[in-house]
């Protein structure tokens, strides 16, 4: 496994292009922000529950692995761990290529055409270290001949640390069923969320109408996460007792692409014309106590 490492006085970032464009580790002043990947081999159908990976051309599940779009039905391969549904797109299962790299920057890309998505697409990730700030830019480009639904996001495994607290604010909570799919029912109302990492509680929240700000507090400092408005939805997930918290800014609700067009503004589906790109930015800023 070949890890590309960027570092400065604040950050150490390791990326595994060949392993689905994953982040292998992310440390801030020596603190492991993400649970590091320690695996010695990569199985694209049973990936490491660590680091972080891109969600492209969609996040979460497509119900029954069946995409109904523009009057046409498309059968997709179900994922073994989520059968009969798909899971988290195909971008993070493919090898990525290094496009540009330097001491404080890295750009990688993946071109895909295959059974897991009816349209050819290009996915890009750009990483830039700027002092105490890490900027991650995600790009999805429709390389097909017809319009396609598109979405993106990031799936990080934040390492739980003693005394760690997570804070954010949302305006809508979507109800989900036992198969982690939204039921269509939701509850509106501004709410401040506080997650105590020490508690080891199970989490499963699909949320939206948030301001794109996430704060993680540690005994030695604070991590401020700010994401662009494209990432209008948020997933908080963790099994009980897990060493990680999945706090995922994403552009759409699970199975949003199968929802009626008049719901897209709320469920987050974007339609990309041939050659059109969808872009989102995440900024991680470390503040020492």
Overall CATH class of domain 4-288: mainly beta
Q: Cis peptide leading into 244, omega within 30 of 0?
A: no
Which residue, among 118, 8, 129, 131, has the nearest Cα to 58 in the 3D structure?
118
3-state secondary structure of 86: coil
CA distance 69 to 142: 15
Q: What is the DSSP string of 199-212?
A: G---EEEEEES--S
pLDDT at 110: 98
3-state secondary structure of 263: helix
Tokens of 7: 């570092």
pLDDT at 200: 86
pLDDT for 220-253, tens place per residue? 999 999 999 999 999 999 999 999 999 999 999 9
pLDDT for 91-150, tens place per residue? 999 999 999 999 999 999 999 999 999 999 999 999 999 999 999 999 999 999 999 999
pLDDT at 164: 97
List, in sequence order, the alpha helices (H) in 93-164. none
pLDDT at 122: 98
Domain positions in the chain are 4-288
Residue with tokens 């046409």: 72
**Percent of the chain beyond pLDDT 70?**
100
pLDDT at 289: 78
Length of the chain in terms of residues written: 289
| Confidence label for 201 from pLDDT (cuts 50, 70 and 90) | confident
Long-range CB pairs of 262-271 (<8 Å, 24+ gap) are: 266/208, 268/151, 268/208, 268/232, 268/233, 269/149, 269/151, 270/149, 270/150, 270/151, 270/230, 271/147, 271/148, 271/149, 271/150
List, in sequence order, the alpha helices (H) in the chain. 264-267
């Amino acid at each position: 496994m070949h890890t590309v490492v960027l570092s400065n006085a604040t950050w150490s970032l390791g990326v595994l292009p060949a392993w689905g464009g994953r982040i292998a580790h992310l440390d801030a002043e020596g603190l492991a922000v993400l649970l590091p990947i320690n695996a010695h081999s990569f199985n694209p159908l049973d990936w490491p529950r660590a680091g972080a990976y891109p969600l492209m051309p969609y996040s979460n599940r497509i119900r029954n692995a069946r995409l109904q779009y523009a009057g046409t039905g498309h059968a997709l391969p179900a994922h073994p761990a989520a059968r009969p549904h798909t899971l988290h797109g195909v971008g993070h299962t493919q090898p990525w290529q290094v496009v540009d790299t330097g001491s404080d920057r890295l750009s990688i890309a993946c071109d895909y055409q295959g059974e897991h998505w009816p349209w050819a697409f290009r996915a890009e990730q750009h990483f830039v270290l700027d002092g105490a700030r890490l900027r991650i830019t995600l790009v999805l480009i429709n390389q097909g001949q017809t319009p396609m639904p598109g979405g993106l996001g990031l799936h990080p495994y934040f390492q739980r640390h003693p005394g760690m607290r997570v804070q954010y604010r949302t305006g809508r909570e979507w109800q989900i069923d036992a198969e982690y799919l939204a039921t269509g029912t939701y509850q509106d109302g501004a709410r401040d969320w506080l997650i105590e990492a020490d508690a080891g509680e199970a989490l499963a929240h699909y949320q939206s109408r948030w301001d794109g700000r996430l704060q993680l507090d540690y005994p030695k400092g604070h991590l401020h996460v700010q994401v662009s408005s494209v990432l209008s939805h948020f997933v908080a997930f963790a099994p009980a007792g897990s060493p990680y918290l999945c706090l995922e800014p994403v552009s759409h609700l699970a199975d949003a692409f199968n929802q009626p067009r008049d719901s897209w503004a709320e469920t987050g589906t974007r339609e990309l014309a041939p050659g059109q790109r969808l872009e989102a930015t995440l900024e991680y800023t470390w503040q020492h106590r």
